[in-house]
Structures are given as C-alpha cells and as structure tokens.
Structure 1
Amino acid sequence: MIDTKDYAAKLTAALGALGNTVPATLAGFEALDGAAARKGVLDAKTRELIALAVAVTTRCDGCITVHSAAAAKAGATKDEVAEALSVAMALNAGAALVYSARAFDAFDQQGG
C-alpha cells in the first residue's frame, strides 16, 4: 500500500511542474474537474463516493488519494465507502466479462 498523505504532497508537486510546462492542458482539466464538482442534484458526499468508485475502476492512485480524502471530508463513513467500492468491483468484473466476449468474438472473426 502507499502512504496517501505523502503521495498527495508529491503528486501535487509533480502536477505543478507539469502544469508549468503545459498550462493550457492543466487549466482545461481543472475546468472540467471544477464543473463536475459544482453543487447540483447530488451532494458532495455522493459525488465523492462515485468519484472514488470510478477511481478504482480506472486504477488511478492519484484519484484514489484525492477522492478518498474528499469523501472523508464530505462525511462519508467507512461502510459507505465499502459499499461504493463493492459497486466498482462488480462493474469491473462485468466489464471483464463483456470484453472477454468481445475478444472471443474478435478471435472467431480472425478464423480462430
């Protein structure tokens, strides 16, 4: 496992350096992230639980670090996080099943 507090500090520094090199790209990401974070129908806790589950499905350590902290700050409980992660696990297994069928079909199309 990684120390997420140490990782968050290093990630912030690395992103700052990257942003200095490609500021328009980072500004575009920040605009997209900010738009998704604006208060709407979903409360902050629900948005962060969704973000954490998506972070797991995309295997993004930085996203897991940021959104686990934000979920805790928004008042998510350990049980709520576990349930959101259970949904992520189910979807990843489902995606592997669907893409396995696609791969099997692609193999058949090649005369396999």
Structure 2
Amino acid sequence: MAKGGEGREGNALKTAVIVAGGLALAWVTVETAFRPFLERLRAAVSRSTDPSRDPDQEGDPAPAPAAAAEEVEEKAPAPVEPSAPPAPVEEGDKVADKLEEAAAKAE
C-alpha cells in the first residue's frame, strides 16, 4: 500500500508542472496575439495615471510662464492699422513723389 501513495505524490507534481507550463504558454500566446491592442491599452492606462498630466489641457501646448509672455509682448508691438484706406494712385504720378509727400506729412 505504501507504493500506491508514493505514485500519487509523483503524479500530483507532474500535474502541477504541466498546468504551470500550460498557463505560461497560454500567457505568451495571448501577449503575442493581442500585442497591438495591449500596447494601446497600456499606453492609455499610463497616460491616465500620470500625475503630471492634466486631462483638461489635452492637445493644447503647455502655457508659457507669465514673465516670458510679458517680455514677448514688450518686444513685438502690435501692428498699426491705417485709419483710412490708401488713396487711389493716379496714372501720371510716380511712386517716389508719393513717398516724399507721405514723409513730409509725417514730419
């Protein structure tokens, strides 16, 4: 009777090894078969759990610091819009004459 008990312990060990090997093979097969889907899923999870990312600003560039924005405004003045449209050019007038007249009016 002692012989029958030893055989069962060996069978249990073999069964455990076969089950563990089967589970490992199944895991590798699933990882390989669904690789593109799992990569997208893992990327989405890592983005959603990133504490430095703000989901409200998705797609927007990071805002510049206030001091840097003020410096940019000071360096680049806004273009001046003319108050009236330019006068039509007469055929006989030269462009140089018009520029001299405009310079004289500006002074």
TM bracket, shorter-chain basis: under 0.3
Give the structure-1-normalised TM-score.
0.23
Q: Compute the TM-score of the two structures, normalised by the length of structure 2.
A: 0.24
Answer 1 or 2: higher relative contact order, Cα 8 Å, separation at least 6. Answer: 1
